[in-house]
Amino acid sequence: MDCIRLCILGINQRALDKLHGLPCDAAILDLEDAVSPFKKAEARALACEAVRKGFGDHKEIAIRINSLSTDWGRDDLAQVVSSGAHAVVIPKVDSANALQEVASIMDSLNAPHHMSIWAMIETPLGVLNLSTILATAHPRLSCLVAGTSDLSKVLLLAMQYLAWIVLAARAHGLTALDGVHLDLDNDADFARQLAQGKELGFDGKTLIHPKTILPTNAAFSPSPEEVQDAHAIIRAFQDAVAKGNGVALYKGKLVGTDIIYHFHTLVILTYQDFVVHPQTTSC
């Protein structure tokens, strides 16, 4: 799984059309918060049809459904399962039962084995229950998404709850994505959020506008200097092992087996192009 997720309203045909060719590795088509109750069925049909047609550039497509407790959630899930989407995004996950019910329905509908579940953690209860939620999670669960818009309304300790989401994801081998930035005219605050998200350890960020793709890509992609250092560190460690040593010394720092995996991962991501590199696009 890669680093940039562009959120597109399922009802917005113009946005769906523009998704072709955008330099993001995935898109979340939204059927929940941004869709009027009177437009839910129309949005569902539009999003699922767009997924069936495909986007022609190997994007990973996820669809955020309405909660199963709503009038639309179960129909959403059934249609998403048959659409060919790569993942289903579950909003406001605050208990283990919420994910288990979704996974059970997906299995009963013979959802493809590769179709994964992304859980949005966007309530205080969801944050508090993360350990319980993940301890019994279905193998389909692959990603936690920080629902920063909702959480910020009720919690003032942003760094603490975001760090807890990342920690929980790491403990269970999941991807962690930072939430969206809503103030599209505030470039300085967006840059601050990008730096904060990377510092906290998020794998990437969800976005709501194409103009934010390239700066996000730049923030979460390794720099040429980081890649060069990673190669040098790996070589130094390999030389040390060949000489019978368990650690290497690189620029005054000890490098052992406990951290060499990080540098191997960075190099692999770069060469396999898992991280989307900046390119020019129209928005």
Pick the range with the lowest mean pLDDT from 68-72, 137-141, 207-211, 252-256.
Answer: 252-256
CA 166/CA 145 separation, integer angstroms? 9
CA 86/CA 137 separation, integer angstroms? 18
57-93 residue pLDDT tens: 667 899 999 999 999 999 999 999 999 999 999 999 9
- The structure tokens listed for 114 are 């590769």
CA atoms within 13 A on the CB side of 20: 9
CA 151/CA 6 separation, integer angstroms? 20
Residues placed in the known binding site for substrate: 64, 122
CB 8 within 8 A of CB 46: no
| Among 109, 55, 58, CA closest to 80 | 109
| Among 107, 104, 26, CA closest to 64 | 26
- The structure tokens listed for 71 are 């009038």
CA atoms within 13 A on the CB side of 160: 6
CA 5/CA 264 separation, integer angstroms? 24
CA 282/CA 149 separation, integer angstroms? 27
Residues placed in the known binding site for Mg(2+): 122, 150
C-beta contacts of 104-108 below 8 A and 24+ residues apart: 105/68, 105/74, 105/77, 105/78, 106/77, 106/81, 106/140
7 compared with 99, residue with greater pLDDT: 99
List domains and CATH numbers for the chain: 4-220 (3.20.20.60), 224-271 (no CATH)
pLDDT at 54 over 90: no
108-157 residue pLDDT tens: 999 999 999 999 999 999 999 999 999 999 999 999 999 988 887 766 66
- The per-residue pLDDT for 217 is 86
31 compared with 159, residue with greater pLDDT: 31
Q: How confident is the model at residue 282 (pLDDT cuts 50, 70, 90)?
A: very low
Residues placed in the known binding site: 64, 122, 150
- The structure tokens listed for 244 are 């019978």
141 compared with 2, residue with greater pLDDT: 141
Unique residue bearing structure tokens 């989401």: 165
pLDDT at 202 over 60: yes
